Structure 1
Amino acid sequence: MADITHTNVAELTSAAHVLKTLLNIKFTRAKERHANAMGFSSSNHLLAEVKNTPVTRSFEQYIDNLKTELHKQHQLTLDDQQISQLREQLCN
């Protein structure tokens, strides 16, 4: 089972850039979608938590949450290739 773990702000920024590039959405929206997929209500909430302790989410939970948020907020869907790219770039 693969996990996504963030231990610092640079890792959060990097993950948001991955989403921005892959999905062609604005960086601020990518930060919010990433935070939601990680199980947080906002990017600021995730940022505050990462400053205190490492944050980990299973890749499967992350993708399920991300699919829901992308469909609801952007009317976008993820294909298998995009999911594979995310796994390769985000998982530890």
Structure 2
Amino acid sequence: MSDEIIITLDQLRNMIGLRMVHQGILCQVIEVLEDGPSLVLQSIAEAPTIQPNQHGEATRRAPVTYTIPVLNDEHTELHPSFLALDLAE
């Protein structure tokens, strides 16, 4: 018998668009990565940061993003980073 947590990509995709608080920063879920799985959050409270191109030259400003794993490495528990997310009102 497996103790793995079963969470579907559809369940996670339903979170796209939700506003969450990650480490005190207001963010929005913008994507679900199948590998992991993980949520991608985009900061909506922080100023965009300078993003370098492949040569290391600063070329544009881009929103800050965070990748949050949903499950631990064994897929037996929710990841602490995922559990620490707060739903914003």
Name the TM-score, length of structure 1 as normaliser: 0.29
Higher relative helix content: 1
Larger Rg: 2
Higher relative strand content: 2
Q: Report 1 or 2 for greater relative contact order, CA contacts < 8 Å, sequence distance ≥ 6.
A: 1
